Structure 1
Amino acid sequence: MHPVSHTASDADGGGPLSRLALGPTGERARLGLLLVSFALLLVVGLALPHAAAPDLGPRGWAPGTLLPVTLSPALVTAAMWTAYVLGAVGVLLAVLGRGTELPRSFVAALAVGAALTAPFGSGDHVSYAAYGRILALGDNPWLVSPVTWRGGSDPVVSAVEAPWTEEPSVYGPFATIVQGLTSLGGGDNLRQTVWLWQLVVIASWLAVRWCLRRVLPGREGRIDALWTANPLVFSVGVLGAHVDLLATALAVGAVWAAHRYAGLGGAALAGTLAALAISSKFTYAVVLLALVVAFPARRLARSAVLLAAAAVVAGGLHLWAGPHVYDQLGRSARAVSLATPWRWVFETLGGDLDARRTVSGLAALLAVGFALCLWRVVRPAHAGLGATALTGVAVLTGAYALAAPYSLPWYDVVVWATLPAVVAGVADLVLLLRLWVMSMAYTPGRVLGMTPGVEDVTMTARTSVAPVALLVAWVWLVTSAVRGGSRRRPAGPPRDSAPRR
């Protein structure tokens, strides 16, 4: 690997953590931690099916298992936890330091490594394949549950794992169309279908990096430190093959389009990409709000075109999909994760439907409060539209991830895609604690394949340790905001404020 290069602009001059920049020894230690973390994660993905990775059946023309070794549930859990600890420390050192720009060869190696693995950390990718298969063969994945479709005998759809066998799709029409296209390419073979979906996810991960490097010139090191070389994001997002990567790439692409093209055409393109993000996962609607706020007040026409394009594209997709697209969304919105402090509130209130409604209402209020706190403790790195919009997305999605009653580690992917736009500060630390805690809590991630001993240990981490740690993150954010945030004028010159054509 070629030596990494420091980018002078990556030092957040005047930022609250800039005085803690690492020396050469600290930087070497950081890179060593990251390399070990990535290696452990790739070993987990390259091994035979195990407690974190479902069996995808015959490989067909897709990559097969490269490491013909069987990892026990305990070994898989230990490897993932070790990788997450080392990776979190590596990211922490990057936040405290200046960040380094990765050589292209290293980024390419990570992408190739991801393409050779089998997804792990959940069984969601099997559900994606099933919903795409149902759509590709002419049925409605928002109405039909996998266990009932064609008598449960289909070679792809029948592989869906508990607890999702009876659940129709909760994903938006655009994501489901992409899943349908991968199903057409993969045919009757589950491994082939999943591998094509993995390529979509890897391309989305690379696209986010490409867009960020153009929206945030001079911050390549921080982009790579928080996004590209973040083992936690790489594991839960890329190696987990989650749809959140596709939605994140579309959201960041919308910001890039508005930043790159100053006219109404840029606003239309941004609105289109934002609509596709929303039509993948509804929570990504925040990108529209962030862009409207970031547009200059005198450019009302741009905001109007942005919203009109988003309405036309998203509306057309939803009309095509039918009225049942988000039937499952209301149910999932009332769910309460075991790993959040809300579980205590839910159980204290009786654990019934009224308790779920109360928790949902309180969480919505807390999310607003967290957004105000984050807005107080962050500041954009540049004064231009791109950095301002990305900062807005980081604040809104970060507040949602922290406050949501039902939350999983891959919900944080969009947060870390947009954090490079802000000056290093306490928000990085709070959100790193949140991502690390949730990644540890949802290891190995499936409800199948664990021994009783491993299940006891992981459930203790999920139900007892994680809620306390997340409560610490809540208190840390609020007290930091109350003591006085760092929000001042943007750091550095307004590099991206001039129109780009």
Structure 2
Amino acid sequence: MTSERRRKQAQDLPFRAGSPRLPRSAADERLVGGVRGRLAVPGLVMIAVSVLLTITIGLLGPSPMVPALGGPAWQPSYSFDARPDPYLVIVLAAAAIVVGGLGLLAALAAVPRDRLRPDPRLLVLFGCLAAGVLAFLPPSGSGDHLNYAAYGRMVTLGLNPYTHGADDLPGDPIADAVERPWREEPSVYGPVATALQALASWIGGDSLRLTIFVLAVFNAAAFIVTALLVDRFTRHDPARRRRAALLWAANPLLLYHLVAGMHADTLAIACMVAALLARARPLASGLLLGLGVATKLNAGLVALGPAWELRRRPGRLAVMAAAALAVVIAGYAIVGPEAITPVTTTSKAISHVSFWKLVQGWLWALVGTGSAYRGEIQVGALMVLGLVAWSLLRLASRRAAAGQAAPGGLEAPVVAAALVVAYLFATPYILPWYDGLAFGMLVLVGASAVDGFVVVHLLVLSLAYLPARVDGQPPGLEWLSGVVRPQIAWALLALTVALTVWAWRAGGRVRRPPASAAPPP
């Protein structure tokens, strides 16, 4: 086997363990392959249905899922003013999430056995077309895009979005649209995101509808560019190319959150994916890393991947780090040091769906309610992050030692994927669209059970935040946020434990081949 072929195989299977403890018989293999084969077509159909449901939610117009947009009706974004029944729209969203998540799991299960045979280019085309359509519809699922428009408006009016909230612009047609509980909150986004928000506001003027459309175009373009970059990166391996298309371009959950939801995370992910693919050119990679961090600060975790890969090449590492720091420092120098304060405040928050909310409740019961225990929880989260990351990296490194990974050790995408997945499973503050960064990293490495864990993680989070709005919700559904959301924390805790146990046990099954064994032909 050539070193090039071994390198490609290493990239394909960074987290997969060695042979199972109990090898399957040929009949078992045929049975498993047959079951997976039968899942392929239903999985693709379910993905298509989910995306159509997401498009339908936007087309129906203002609802509990879709905030109303002011501005001339002839301007994009476009939708019918159908005034759908609130409960119907919530059901449509739940169906889009469940059908899409299960369809994605089924389709991914068919890839390793080559039971999924559509041209990967069709999957990429489907996802890109869906993203293009969604850009012309009003965003759905949350009200974050209203905040983006307000922050851009502040810049054009001479206010600092890092020290002011929407309440500081009373009577403004853009700021008045911001929903509770975010009206007093300053921006937590980086200077690159703020610059794009300001540009959209400059183009949109007093029209919220047009401002949101410009932001949606930026967002959809970032999603599509990422899809095309990933497709080109995986073009030499049809199975890997199909898996990458499913995990990103045709992923119904990402289309639901990143594109229909129009979250700024999409922009940061595009920069980070491009940076990892360009890491042979340290200057370009560093500039892209800096743009990603200056869009959303937590994306900076990805930079540890290239840093690890270049640890023995200090010159190239210095160029990459200097370029990244130059972009970040220049960006924050322009917007001012006030931009750091909102980020540090948010970093201490705890999501209602996070299993750390359970820990906080236990501490209240045991010690007392005199403290929020945020410091203790932050320390605990770092410990869990380290444990999950160590388990994943241990598995990958043992594969490298056993000759199942690339000569030279762990590559940047593997390290970045492990760290990002560990962060998302351990962080006290988690929202569904944060998982997009994990998918952006996983498409650059090989298939493993991690794919399934991350899909289920996003599926569970999506159901917890159905929808991620406070305003405009129908009466009688308070139990979705008051009862269901806190209970889902138990599912996230179970997923984190399961991922750690799987990675640790899988790493223990990897065995170094005998020294005398000849490499396979």
TM-score normalized by the length of structure 1: 0.88
Structure 2 residue identity aligned to 1:396: L
**What does 1:270-349 correspond to in 2, within 5 Å?**
270-295=285-310, 297=312, 299-349=313-363
**Contact 1:51/1:72 (8 A) holds in 2:** no
AA matched with 2:447: A
Q: Verify: 1:225 aligned to 2:243, yes or no.
A: no
Cα offset, 1:58, TM superposition: 2.5
Q: Are residue 127 (structure 1) and residue 127 (structure 2) matched?
A: no
Does structure 1 retain, via aligned residues, the 8 Å contact 2:197–2:215?
yes
Which of the pair has the greater relative contact order for Cα pairs under 8 Å at 6+ separation? 2
Which residue is equivalent to 1:89?
Answer: 102
Which residue matches 1:204? 222
Take 1:478 and 1:115, find their aligned partners in 2: how far apart are those partners? 38
- Please tell me the residue identity of whatever aligns with 1:240: G
**Alpha-carbon shift at residue 54 of structure 1 (Å):** 0.9
CA offset digits 1:388-431 (Å, max 9, x no partner): 32222221111111111111001100101111233322211221
Contact conserved, 2:153 with 2:201, CA < 8 A, in 1? yes
Matches within 5 A, 1:4-403: 20-21=32-33, 25-59=38-72, 61-98=74-111, 100=118, 101-103=120-122, 105-149=125-169, 152-217=170-235, 218=237, 219-258=240-279, 262=280, 266-295=281-310, 297=312, 299-350=313-364, 353-377=371-395, 383=406, 388-403=411-426
Name the structure 2 match of 1:475. Answer: 497
CA distance in 2 between counterparts of 1:143 and 1:64 reads 29
- Structure 1 residue 383 displacement after superposition: 3.9
Deviation at 1:94, TM superposition (A): 2.5
2:11/2:405 contact within 8 Å kept? no
Look up the SS of the partner of 2:498 in the other structure: helix
In structure 1, C-alpha distance between the alignment counterparts of 2:259 and 2:326, rounded to whole Å: 30
Cα distance, 1:307–1:40 mapped onto 2, change above 3 Å: same
Q: Which amino acid aligns with 2:431?
A: L
Tell whether 2:441 aligns with 1:418.
yes
CA distance in 2, matches of 1:64, 1:320: 31
Per-residue CA deviations over 1:237-296 (Å, capped at 9, x if unaligned) read 1110000000000111111221xxx3xxx2111111111111111111122211111237
Task: Go from structure 1 to structure 2 and tell me whether the alpha carbon gap of 1:352 and 1:419 turns closer, same or farther (over 3 Å shift).
Answer: farther
Shift of 1:76: 1.7
- Greater shift in the superposed pair: 312-321 or 344-353: 344-353
Task: Report if aligned partners of 1:374, 1:481 keep a CA contact under 8 Å in 2.
Answer: yes
Q: How many Å apart are 1:78 and its aligned residue?
A: 1.2
| Greater shift in the superposed pair: 135-144 or 124-133 | 135-144
Q: Secondary structure at the match of 1:325?
A: helix
The correspondence of residues 479-494 of structure 1 with structure 2, limited to 5 A, is: 479-485=501-507
Tell me which structure has the larger Cα radius of gyration: 2
Task: State the distance in 2 between where 1:133 and 1:267 align.
Answer: 36
SS of the residue aligned with 2:456? helix
1:367-390 superposed Cα distances (whole Å, 9 cap, x missing partner): 111111232455799849999322
Equivalent residue, structure 2, for 1:429: 452
After superposition, the Cα gap between the structure-2 partners of 1:125 and 1:64, relative to the gap in structure 1 and judged at 3 Å, is closer
CA contact (8 A) 1:73 1:449 kept: no
The RMSD of aligned alpha carbons is 2.8
The separation in 2 between residues aligned to 1:421 and 1:120, in whole angstroms, is: 29
Secondary structure at the residue paired with 2:476?
helix
Alignment partners' CA distance in 2, 1:64 and 1:327: 33
Q: Which amino acid aligns with 2:293?
A: I
How far apart, CA to CA, are the structure 2 residues paired with 1:44 and 1:329?
Answer: 32
Amino acid in structure 2 at the alignment position of 1:292: A
Cα distance in 1 for residues equivalent to 2:51 and 2:437: 20
2:486 to 453, 463, 469: 463
Q: 1: CA distance between counterparts of 2:130 and 2:409? A: 27
Instruction: Confirm or deny: 8 A CA contact 1:10 1:222 kept in the other structure.
Output: no
Q: Percent identity?
A: 33
CA distance in 1, matches of 2:253, 2:501: 26
Which of 210-219 and 337-346 deviates more?
210-219
Greater Cα shift, 30-39 or 477-486: 477-486
| Corresponding letter in the other structure for 1:390 | P
What's the CA shift string for 1:191-223, capped at 9, x where partnerless?
Answer: 100110001110111111122223334232111
Give the 3 Å change call, closer, same or farther, for CA 113–341 of structure 1 in structure 2.
Answer: same
Please tell me whether the aligned partners of residues 13 and 445 of structure 2 are also in contact (alpha carbons under 8 angstroms). no
Checking the alignment, whether the CA contact within 8 Å between 1:294 and 1:385 is kept in structure 2 is no
- Is the CA contact 1:377–1:480 (under 8 Å) kept in the aligned structure 2? no
Q: Distance in 2 between matches of 1:196 and 1:139?
A: 21
Contact 1:175 1:279 in 2 (8 A): yes
Against the structure 1 CA distance between its residues 105 and 91, is the aligned structure 2 distance closer, same or farther, given a 3 Å change threshold? closer
Distance in structure 2 (CA, Å) of the matches to 1:54 and 1:212 = 32
> Do 1:132 and 1:181's aligned partners in 2 also have CA atoms closer than 8 Å?
yes
Q: Give deviations 1:442-485, integer Å, cap 9, x for gaps.
A: 01110111223112134322111x11111110121122123233
Bigger drift between 81-90 and 194-203 goes to 81-90
TM-aligned CA deviation for residue 11 of structure 1: 12
C-alpha contact 1:10 1:220 (8 A) present in aligned 2: no
**Cα distance between partner residues in 2 of 1:158 and 1:479:** 48
Aligned position for 1:498: none
**Corresponding residue number in structure 1 for 2:518:** none
Give the direction of change, closer, same or farther, for the CA distance of 1:267–1:310 in structure 2 (3 Å limit). Answer: same
Matched, 1:409 2:432: yes
Q: Is the 8 A contact 2:41 2:107 kept in 1?
A: no
Any idea what SS the aligned residue of 1:57 has?
Answer: coil
Residue 477 of structure 2 corresponds to residue 454 of structure 1: yes
Secondary structure (helix, strand or coil) at the match of 2:62 reads coil
- Number of residue pairs matched? 472
TM superposition shift of 1:352:
5.2
Tell me, what secondary structure is at the counterpart of 1:169? Answer: coil
- Give, in angstroms, the shift of residue 102 of structure 1: 4.0
Matches of 2:58 and 2:507, distance apart in 1 = 41
Amino acid at match of 1:47: L
CA contact (8 A) 1:274 1:288 kept: yes
Q: Return 213-222 or 132-141, whichever deviates more.
A: 213-222
